[in-house]
Amino acid sequence: MRVAAGQFAVTPYWETNAQICADLMAQAVVQQAALLVLPEALLARRDDDPTLSVKSAQPLDGGFITRLLQASHGNTMTTVLTLHVPSTAGRAVNTLVAIRGGEIIAHYAKLHLYDAFSMLESAQVDAGDNIAPLIEIDGMNVGLMTCYDLRFPELALSLALGGADLLVLPAAWVRGPLKEQHWATLLAARALDTTCYLIAAGECGNRNIGQSRIIDPQGVTLAAAAEDPQLIFAELTRERIMQTREKLPVLKNRRFAPPQLL
């Protein structure tokens, strides 16, 4: 299965961001990708206003998603991204959306909010309560996570124990001391914890690091971006998963009960 991860610097204007997403989708379709993962919180961003994305929140039938649903018509590629969806006054839900063939096929409310490193996502964002069901793409089961979820191995493990072969992670990983090292280490660790492929798409720009990666079940980086806008690709195979799980049967060797997140 051919997969892609795309990164770009989100602008303050949702119409511009929607067009960038549609262009990346078109490029991935030309390259025959079955799955494209885009970054987190794509509606709007401005360096001097960290609350802009929440203030720009749109419902799932708003202009942003409607534009991307139009872009997904006529092909079978699945695209995964996140945006803020309004909840109560002044608040929103950080919502992952998977679209295919002009329809929303899954959505997931981010479980773990980024209340760390002097930031407080929960000040304006409501956390989700449930693990998203797996989605199927070309015979592979795909588990859905968002950004800060990466730091919680029990979520990735729950998805793997539920049958996931591949984990996807839209992200906007904030710059800071050692943060790039954390990103690379955690991505490899979650792949190794679960013996799953992992596709992570990071927003780039002045605030966030970019560094999108596609990682195989043994923690090997198959494709990687740096800090600039880029679209990366890799080929995934079920054989690699099966070979890894035969040699490294960590999911079978576990002696703890499946983790209970909530």
Q: Is residue 256 part of a domain?
A: no
CA 75, CA 72: separation in Å to the nearest integer? Answer: 6
CATH number for 14: 3.60.110.10
For the segment 26-62, what is each residue's pLDDT rounded down to a tens digit?
999 999 999 999 999 999 999 999 899 999 999 999 9
For the segment 93-112, what is each residue's pLDDT rounded down to a tens digit?
999 999 999 999 999 999 99
Q: Domain span at residue 105? A: 2-249
What are residue 213's DSSP bridge partners?
200, 224
Q: What is the DSSP letter of 9?
A: P
Please give the share of the chain, as a percent, with pLDDT higher than 70.
98
Q: What is the DSSP letter of 254?
A: -
Q: Is residue 56 part of a domain?
A: yes
For the segment 159-216, what is each residue's pLDDT rounded down to a tens digit?
999 999 999 999 999 999 999 999 999 999 999 999 999 999 999 999 999 999 999 9
Q: Is residue 97 part of a domain?
A: yes
Count of domains in the chain? Answer: 1
The dihedral formed by the CA atoms of 25, 8, 208 and 93, expressed in degrees to the nearest 10: -40
What are residue 202's DSSP bridge partners?
171
Q: Is residue 104 part of a domain?
A: yes
Active site residues: 40, 110, 147
**C-alpha to C-alpha distances, 13 to 1, 20, 204, 206, nearest whole angstrom:** 33, 11, 16, 16
Q: Residue type for 149, please?
A: D
Q: Is residue 260 part of a domain?
A: no
pLDDT at 261: 62
258: left (phi over 0), alpha (psi -120 to 50) or beta: beta
258 — pLDDT class (breaks 50, 70, 90): low
Q: Is residue 255 part of a domain?
A: no
Q: Is residue 14 part of a domain?
A: yes
CA 212, CA 187: separation in Å to the nearest integer? Answer: 10
